[in-house]
Structure 1
Amino acid sequence: MAENAPQALVTAEPATPTATETEAKTADKMESQSNPPGGMMAAAHVIAPGVLSIFSFFLSLALLGCAVWLLFMRSYDCEDLLGLPRVQTLASVGLLAVFAISNAALYQRQRFPMPVVVVIVVTLLLMLFLGLAYSGVNEMQSQRFPATASWFKMKVMDDSNWNNIKSCIYDKGTCNELVYRSLRKDSYDLISNSKMSSVQSGCCIPPKTCEMEEVNATSWRRKEEMEYDIENEDCEMWRKEWSVLCYDCRSCKLGFIRALRRKWWKLGVFCIVMSLLLLLSHLLLFLATFWERLKT
């Protein structure tokens, strides 16, 4: 019976951790709390290039939209005499080329990072340079470059060109609109104060510095006691004849230049903004790609 008696169960006591193991666990815990998880950094490295690629693509869509707008935009009256529709088409083709290069850079950045970044930077710097020229920020020395401020002055101030331009303005009936509008108003004075185009204000009425008295929409009376300076030739050139008016005035030429410059100024500002944004986006994307290569 004594031999069959149940033996006492012996319960093993848990091993007490040593001081070295405790210090190691404490150090690992502090390190895990102080440093962010490696997965978050890895995710950021993966997400950042994707976000920048999407951002660059949507920016390039604005170039595509502007190119289409230039192709189908109606030309201003008489600007075809200066060959501007052809320049407008070339500008549209240039924007399409930048759009294609920008998106090609997005797809080839992994295979050829350095050639891609060189090509896109040179292209966007050229676009920035042209934008500065069109907007008038950079007064280019060469007057041969079309659609810049100096080029417009050179072309419009040329007498042979201006004779054709003023004939076109007259044939288009630019000043006739003032007469039609005057028939719908009780006072002719409202015509001079109403909103007119730069061509109408420069070609159809005398300059305000002449201080002539308004008779009707296109007829003004000189003040007898008024003496004009020799430098103010526009006041002497003004005639009440319908075919003359102020078509030979300097104010008419400047008004025509302002009408043409408005569109190209907008294009210049657009090119400046888009080139800077795309430069920043592509450079950041290149740095992200370069960082990926260093990590692998």
Structure 2
Amino acid sequence: MGVSNNITAVLNFIALLCSIPIIAAGIWLASKPDNECIHNFRWPVVLLGVLILLVSLAGFVGAYWNKKGLLALYLFCMAVLIVLLLILLVFAFVVTRRDGSYSVPGRAYKEYQLDGFSEWLRDHITNSGNWQKIRTCLSDSDVCTKLTQNYVTADQFFMAHISPLQASSVRCCKPPTVCGYNYVNPTLWLNPVNPMGDPDCYLWSNDQNQLCYNCNSCKAGLLGNLRKEWRRANVILIIAVVVLIWVYLIACSAYKNAQTEDLFRRYKRGWV
């Protein structure tokens, strides 16, 4: 095996290693309880990571055993995958750029406004067809039940540093603060005498199967959590794609050098 093929084999092994954090990031996103309710968001990163793993493995085999056809296929497929990963990154950055969160006096957690998120993300998640499935999935989870188990007094609840999942789901478990409902427990609230004009104030129900799952604040809370998770995953994906581009460019150069080495050997043997 020539020097250039050795280099290409090493580079493909590095690319193979790069696929591992991509797959891990995808699995992390897919395993989040809120993403379990949004099937379209769960697997694209995992799928891209697996494809990069398989293509890198094919490139390693092609370089190690000097299979030029396999190497050429590797270079083509890897270019396509890198472009797809870049498109996914840019798209995820654009649709998660806007943040609908805002602070509420006397609360350790933030609340969210639906209009504060990108139009595509808002329409894709909260349209009537998708939301009914998501709403059913969220209401079947035990997040709201855990809130009632963990917090007893109003001060404990209002000043708690709630976990990321609960921070988004709490919008579905309680009425918006602006409505002025009186706390009994995290999922049971007394109606105020004069509720504010926010439509969510009239959608809230103490029925544990209803709560605020139809509220805009619940939808916005889910979008807020999705945004946080994708922004975290994007950091790993950006590092991985930079390394992949670097590896790919060097692999292209090594492939050309391997072609030159092969041509030179054939010339010395009198084949050309």
| Aligned partners of 1:53 and 1:106 also within 8 Å | yes
- 1:97 pairs, out of 51, 54, 58, with 51
Pick closer, same or farther for the CA change 1:180–1:227 going to 2, 3 Å.
closer
Pick closer, same or farther for the CA change 1:291–1:81 going to 2, 3 Å.
closer
- Distance (Å, rounded) in 2 between the aligned partners of 1:163 and 1:121: 39
TM-score by length of 1: 0.60
Farther off after superposition, 202-211 or 59-68: 59-68
- Distance (Å, rounded) in 2 between the aligned partners of 1:72 and 1:214: 34
- Distance (Å, rounded) in 2 between the aligned partners of 1:78 and 1:138: 18
The alpha carbon displacement at 1:202 in A equals: 1.0
- Distance (Å, rounded) in 2 between the aligned partners of 1:294 and 1:64: 33
The alpha carbon displacement at 1:180 in A equals: 0.9
- Distance (Å, rounded) in 2 between the aligned partners of 1:105 and 1:258: 40
Residue 67 of structure 1 aligns to a residue whose secondary structure is helix
2:221 matched residue in structure 1: 255
The alpha carbon displacement at 1:49 in A equals: 7.3
2:94 matched residue in structure 1: 137
Pick closer, same or farther for the CA change 1:163–1:101 going to 2, 3 Å.
closer
Which whole-Å deviations, capped at 9, do the CAs of 1:156-207 have from their partners, x for residues lacking one? 3223443343333333332111211124xxx321112211413432111222
1:154 matched residue in structure 2: 123
Which whole-Å deviations, capped at 9, do the CAs of 1:72-108 have from their partners, x for residues lacking one? 98744475564448x52x6534322222222333454
1:181 matched residue in structure 2: 150
2:158 matched residue in structure 1: 192
Pick closer, same or farther for the CA change 1:132–1:243 going to 2, 3 Å.
same
Farther off after superposition, 187-196 or 74-83: 74-83
2:99 matched residue in structure 1: none
- Distance (Å, rounded) in 1 between the aligned partners of 2:47 and 2:185: 47
Farther off after superposition, 197-206 or 103-112: 103-112
1:8 matched residue in structure 2: none
| Aligned partners of 2:8 and 2:255 also within 8 Å | no
1:218 matched residue in structure 2: 187
TM-score by length of 2: 0.64
Structure 2: gaps of 5 or more residues: 97-117, 265-272
| Aligned partners of 2:34 and 2:222 also within 8 Å | no
Please tell me whether residue 60 in structure 1 is matched to residue 28 in structure 2.
Answer: no
Number of equivalenced pairs = 233
The alpha carbon displacement at 1:213 in A equals: 4.3
Farther off after superposition, 174-183 or 112-121: 112-121
- Distance (Å, rounded) in 1 between the aligned partners of 2:95 and 2:173: 32
Residue 228 of structure 1 aligns to a residue whose secondary structure is coil
Pick closer, same or farther for the CA change 1:288–1:260 going to 2, 3 Å.
same
Pick closer, same or farther for the CA change 1:93–1:116 going to 2, 3 Å.
closer
- Distance (Å, rounded) in 2 between the aligned partners of 1:272 and 1:258: 21
* CA RMSD in angstroms, aligned pairs only: 3.9
| Aligned partners of 1:203 and 1:245 also within 8 Å | yes
Structure 1: gaps of 5 or more residues: 1-44, 140-148
1:12 matched residue in structure 2: none
1:33 matched residue in structure 2: none
Quick one: which amino acid aligns to residue 247 of structure 2?
Answer: S
1:11-160 matched pairs, under 5 angstroms: 50=6, 53-64=9-20, 66-67=22-23, 70=26, 75-77=31-33, 82-84=38-40, 88=43, 91-108=45-62, 111=68, 116-133=74-91, 135-137=92-94, 153-160=122-129
Quick one: which amino acid aligns to residue 80 of structure 2?
Answer: V
Quick one: which amino acid aligns to residue 54 of structure 1?
Answer: V
Please tell me whether residue 279 in structure 1 is matched to residue 245 in structure 2.
Answer: yes
| Aligned partners of 1:67 and 1:96 also within 8 Å | yes
Quick one: which amino acid aligns to residue 217 of structure 2?
Answer: S
The alpha carbon displacement at 1:281 in A equals: 1.4
Residue 136 of structure 1 aligns to a residue whose secondary structure is helix
The structure with more radius of gyration: 1
